[in-house]
Amino acid sequence: MTLYTRNLAWFYVFAFIIGLSSCKNETSKKNTKTSDIVLLETGSKKPMPKEWIDADTHHKIKRLVDRVGDNRSFYFHNNPFLASKDGDGFLMIFSGSTDSINQFFSVNLKTNKIDQITTQNGNKRGEILGVKTRKVFYMIKDSVFSTHIDTHKTEFIYKFSDDVIGSVTSLNADETLLGGALITKEENDIFKKNPKKSDYFDKIYEAKLKRSLITINVNTKELSNIYSENAWLNHIQFSPTDPNILMYCHEGPWHKVDRIWTININTKENQLMHKRKVEREIAGHEFFSPDGQHIWFDLQIPRGETFYLAKRGVYSNDTLKYAMKRNEWSIHFNIAPDLKTFAGDGGDEGQVAHAKDGMWLYHFTPKNDSLVSEKLVNMKHHDYDLEPNVHFSPDGKWIIFRANFEGTTQIYAVEIKKTAI
């Protein structure tokens, strides 16, 4: 071997060693990013770290809101997301406690920056977000207000008269009308005397008192009565795409009511969306798909025995149902932005499914006529008196929920993609 050849050989050996060392360093760097996040049973420590990997599911969880006090995400069918002012990401609106009252805040999902939106005295009810007008709508006592997300300017909208009890819960697609209900003072007295749901639920249903569906024009401040009935009209939601379609339910024991209805607020045409066909069949916790074409709901045929996530077309008789196992049943479900997968928040053994192992957050993927589940979060340390109310993040990569496994109510996000351990 010539001196030149021998030196060249040593050069390649040396280069190989340097390259191997470099690869190891890069691998180490990549692994460090994961290894810095601790593997823990969710809720096993109080407090939990800001980020951790669920020891049972290997999905990453992070506390989404870092502020003192209780923090609550929106109810499952109320959209909390809008684009940030600079268009570089999304904000999520949430309710947070301050002293003895609550206020609305935003958190930037990219930077985690928190901004307080409202400052008025008085507890605020309603979780209504206008994405186009960039306003949050809410009630304080008997009055309706809106506050701009960016400027924080607050506007008075409407005050209900003293002889009725009114509420608003939804905003139509063109953001001109708030939807809600009027109830009698007699019904309100039943609520006051029976503050627990288990106490008032049957009483309100059996009373058959008059309720009215209403709209309030946010520009003219005019109230319109849309429909009245001697029934418990509840769960009022406007379509996310059609400003004239309002969904509502006949509330009460689900096995006694044909629950899910829509009404066209212009023509006043009512339409039953699901008719019970079997003794003790139940359907409920209904929500619109983001495209406004379908209504999804929890379906059990009969109650507590077989479980489905079902849908019905808003403008057609199109129906579909996906079967699931007892342990997979969830208090609430939600659908991904791309309409392809679902999330569920599980439930404890005291819920309607009486699931022995149901305290999980789930991600569901349809396969034929069933849902295939993946467990995301072990909720064994969570008290289900607080419903987790799952939402997909706008990019569809995380599921956002509220929980109390740290002792206070906080907002978390779990990554749908499993973390490599």
Closest CA to 390 of 134, 80, 130, 84: 80
Classify residue 2: in a domain, yes or no.
Answer: yes
Residue 18's pLDDT band (boundaries 50, 70, 90)? very low
β-strand partners of 191: none
Is it the case that residue 13 has pLDDT exceeding 50? Answer: no
Residue 35's pLDDT band (boundaries 50, 70, 90)? low
d(CA 21, CA 327): 48
What is the DSSP secondary-structure string of 160-205?
Answer: --TTSEEEEEEE-TTS-EEEEEEE-HHHHHHHHH--SHHHHHHHHH
Closest CA to 37 of 64, 65, 62: 62
pLDDT digits (tens, 9 = 90+) for 157-187: 999 999 889 999 999 999 999 999 999 999 9
The angle formed by the CA atoms of residues 166, 391 and 321, to the nearest 5 degrees, is 95
Number of domains observed in the structure of the chain: 1
According to DSSP, residue 243 is labeled T
- Please report where in the chains the tokens 């949050």 appear, as a residue: 136
The pLDDT of residue 365 is 98
Mean pLDDT taken over the chain: 92
β-strand partners of 12: none
- pTM: predicted TM-score of the whole model, two decimal places: 0.90
Classify residue 95: in a domain, yes or no.
Answer: no
d(CA 314, CA 247): 10
Classify residue 68: in a domain, yes or no.
Answer: no
Burial zone of 175 (CB within 10 Å; 0-12 exposed, 13-18 middle, 19+ buried): buried
The pLDDT of residue 12 is 45
Q: Are strands 294-300 and 282-288 parallel, antiparallel or unpaired?
A: antiparallel
The pLDDT of residue 372 is 98
Q: What share of residues in the chain are helix, strand, coil (percent, to 5)?
A: 15, 40, 45
**Is 362:346 a contact under the CB 8 Å cutoff?**
yes
Classify residue 46: in a domain, yes or no.
Answer: no
Q: Which domain holds residue 3?
A: 1-35
Classify residue 206: in a domain, yes or no.
Answer: no
Closest CA to 286 of 309, 304, 270: 309
Classify residue 222: in a domain, yes or no.
Answer: no
Write phi, then psi, for 400 (nearest 5 degrees).
Answer: -100, 140
pLDDT digits (tens, 9 = 90+) for 60-99: 999 999 999 999 999 999 999 999 999 999 999 999 999 8
What is the DSSP secondary-structure string of 52-116?
Answer: EEETTT--EEEES---SS-EEPPPTTS--EEE-TTSSSEEEEEEEEETTEEEEEEEETTT--EEE
Burial zone of 125 (CB within 10 Å; 0-12 exposed, 13-18 middle, 19+ buried): middle
Q: Are strands 39-40 and 51-54 parallel, antiparallel or unpaired?
A: parallel
Q: Report the percentage of the chain scoring pLDDT > 90.
A: 89
**Mean of pLDDT values over 362-381:** 98
Classify residue 21: in a domain, yes or no.
Answer: yes
Classify residue 254: in a domain, yes or no.
Answer: no
Q: How far does Cα 193 stand from its chain's mean position?
A: 30
The angle formed by the CA atoms of residues 125, 132 and 316, to the nearest 5 degrees, is 85
